[in-house]
Amino acid sequence: MRRPASGTLVTVATVLALLLAGCSGGGKGGRDADGTIRLSFQSLAWQKESVDANKQLVREWNATHPGIQVDYVRGSWDNVHDQLLTSFEGGEAPDIIHNASDDLADFAYGGFLADLRPLLPDRLTQDIPRRSWRTTTFGDGVYGVPFLQEPRVLIANTRILRASGVRIPTPAEPWSWPEFRRVAQELTGKGRFGVAWPLKEPVSVTLNLGLSAGGQLFHRDADGKATIRFDEGDRVMPGTVRDQVGADRSAARTALGMSGSDTLPGFFGGRYAMVPLGFSYRQQVVEQAPEGFEWTVLPAPAGSEGLAQGVSPQTLSVAEDSPHKEEAVRFIDFLLRPANMVRLARGDWMLPTGAAALADPALHTAENGWATGTALARALRPAPAQSVRGYPEWKDKVATPALQEYYSGAIDTEELRKRLVVDGNRVLARYQR
């Protein structure tokens, strides 16, 4: 899921706009005085290309639907959960809500989001794969439309790769985790690390890339309750990173506390040969790389489950309190027509979920790695903790500090297992009584 760089602030004006425009429509019952239905659409798009694409689509809708007008409201990834919770509890939620699937569970179970099953058109439900719909399904209901997704890839310095003579991986023949470890050692040289792992927020990348080796961590028992296990497959990805940092010295220790954006200056300067990043970071590479810098997009390492990795797609939901749910879903259907979904994906430098949009030739060009990313789409799976209640607390209080200490070498694998499993199951138990 694409989020802005850490430190982005919401201005006072934006907060006021959210509070004033976030309510369901501008008039009584979501209608203007002349009877026009008015819907509020809170978008979290933040970079210019994405904001422009969203605003243009809203203008196109409004021009062709005079009886149903949509007001564009700009939100922020930085505070969306708290902002939405406040607006839900205050009865001022937007009609149409842009969010991410890993933030929906509490809102869905809390009754704040509408179950979209009776409202969604067949075209949309059939175009988006079942595996993507699983990310927004909680209990028996569907509480969001997954529309953009972001695989994690390796962005690599082409000149360093070429000079090293290592085998260049492709989606058809990716590196295995052991081969990736060896390659990182071969790319390491004087003043240069083979790889930089930006793990300031280590949990999602650990869980999502762990799926390739069969890691799952979260499991459901016969009663549907989630429990945590740390099996052999769960050890592969974190163990590789720890070995690269500690034993091999092929991964930069200083990068462990960085965000993805923080690693780019070192990448451009030749300090890191490769950086595992979300697919959308290509935009920053294009905009910030020095003239003449050569780079390429490679698939993440594969394990026993091939290139499988977890994703938490961006979503569009409808507030349960909205008086015009059918009209809100009509707008979502318009926004996610194949051609429009491609426009949104290109604006965000991400992949669409829809099969028709994924087939668009614009997403299969070699330029800027589009073809590599699109080839990975079929291997994307719901993030392991997608529907687990209590996950945010487990992530913040248990998993993040434990993984940070593990990657830095402060604790060993057994201590990591104990914290994730024993402490983690205590957290989950409180949410599943």
pLDDT tens digits for 333-372?
Answer: 999 999 999 999 999 999 999 999 999 999 999 999 999 9
- Triad 66, 69, 73: Cα angle to 5°: 155
Mean pLDDT throughout 117-123? 97
pTM score: 0.89
In this prediction, residue 211 carries a pLDDT of: 97
With cut-offs at 50, 70 and 90, classify the pLDDT of residue 29: low
Residues 6+ apart with CB under 8 A from 333: 120, 121, 123, 124
With cut-offs at 50, 70 and 90, classify the pLDDT of residue 3: low
Q: What is the pLDDT of residues 68-90, one digit of tens each?
A: 999 999 999 989 999 999 999 99
Strands 145-149 and 351-352: antiparallel
CA separation for the pair 358, 133 (Å, rounded): 16
CA separation for the pair 203, 79 (Å, rounded): 19
Q: What is the pLDDT of residues 380-417, one digit of tens each?
A: 999 988 778 888 899 999 999 999 999 999 999 999 99
In this prediction, residue 392 carries a pLDDT of: 83
Torsion-angle region of 194 (φ positive above 0: left; ψ -120 to 50: alpha; else: beta): alpha
Q: Give SS3 for 90.
A: coil
Residues 6+ apart with CB under 8 A from 135: 101, 146, 311, 312, 313, 315, 382, 383, 386
CA separation for the pair 58, 35 (Å, rounded): 20
CA separation for the pair 69, 178 (Å, rounded): 55
For 264, phi then psi, to 5°, come to: -65, -40
Q: What is the pLDDT of residues 240-298, one digit of tens each?
A: 999 999 999 999 999 999 999 999 999 999 999 999 999 999 999 999 999 999 999 99
In this prediction, residue 378 carries a pLDDT of: 94
236 forms bridges with which residues in the sheet? none
With cut-offs at 50, 70 and 90, classify the pLDDT of residue 21: very low
